[in-house]
């Protein structure tokens, strides 16, 4: 991942899912990484720790986990392909507490047959939670892969009231 090659500042923010790695350049947020899951990252040796720089990020994440924030307002850097950036921006349009399918996201991007490409873009999302890829599910309503792990995806959807199991919210 090319993010690791950059000189970034970072901190770890406690959350109900464990300590989240947060990285940015001082002006914009570049990444959030879960402590577990297939896409877990650690800070690079050449990054500088700076807890004060991420106070607004911590405040908004804490409010989100407390159920008080439904939409983030943070300056972001998206460093993907044109298609990835489009998908990542579109993630922010999925309302809190709702889900969309990979097919829905492909149609919204103007590429209705690109469900797999949407899945790949979601898998490369450097800013989960803020750009809520956890809200994207299979067309049958099945929960599908998530870089932070399926338990994290279930937790986030449950927090938002978007996860139903046998007719009951979890």
Q: pLDDT by residue (tens digit) across 105-133?
A: 999 999 999 999 999 999 999 999 999 99
Q: Please tell me the pTM assigned to this model.
A: 0.90
Q: pLDDT by residue (tens digit) across 96-105?
A: 999 999 999 9
| DSSP code string of the chain | -GGGGS--EEEEE--TTSPEEEEE-SSSEEEEE-SSSTT-----TT-EE-SGGGHHHHHHHHHHHTT--SS----B---S-HHHHHHHHHHTTSPTT--EEHHHHHHHTT-TT-HHHHHHHHHT-SSTTTS-GGGEE-TTS-----TT-HHHHHHHHHHTT--EETTEE-
| Exposure of 71 in the CB half-sphere (CA atoms within 13 A) | 7
| pLDDT reading at 93 higher than 90 | yes
Q: Please check whether residue 91 is in contact with residue 133, taking contact to mean a CB–CB distance below 8 angstroms.
A: yes
- Find the mean pLDDT for residues 57-64: 98
In the residue annotation, 158 being an active-site residue is answered as no
Domain 2-65 is found in CATH 3.30.160.70: yes
- pLDDT for 164: 60
**Identical fold, 2-65 and 82-164:** no
Q: pLDDT by residue (tens digit) across 5-29?
A: 678 999 999 999 999 999 999 899 9
Domains in the chain: boundaries: 2-65, 82-164
- pLDDT for 168: 40
- pLDDT for 60: 98
SS (H, E, C) 97-110: CCCEEHHHHHHHCC
pLDDT bin (cut points 50, 70, 90) of residue 165 is: very low
Active-site hit among 8, 13, 118, 133: 133
Domain 82-164: assigned CATH number: 1.10.10.10
């Amino acid at each position: 991942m090319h993010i690791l090659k950059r000189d970034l500042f970072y901190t770890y923010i406690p959350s109900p899912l464990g300590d989240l790695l947060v990285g940015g350049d001082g002006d914009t947020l570049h990444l959030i990484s879960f402590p577990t899951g297939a896409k877990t990252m650690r800070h690079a040796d050449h990054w500088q720790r700076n807890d004060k720089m991420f106070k607004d990020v911590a405040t908004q994440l804490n409010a989100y986990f407390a159920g008080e924030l439904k939409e983030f307002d943070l300056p972001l850097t998206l460093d993907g392909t044109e298609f990835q950036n489009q998908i990542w921006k579109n993630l922010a349009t999925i309302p809190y507490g709702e889900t969309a399918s990979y097919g829905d996201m492909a149609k919204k991007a103007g590429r209705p047959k690109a469900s797999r490409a949407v899945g790949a873009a979601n898998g490369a999302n450097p800013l989960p939670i803020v750009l809520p890829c956890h809200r994207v599910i299979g067309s049958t309503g099945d929960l599908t892969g998530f870089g932070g792990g399926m338990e994290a995806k279930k937790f986030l959807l449950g927090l938002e009231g978007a996860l139903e199991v046998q007719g009951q919210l979890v």
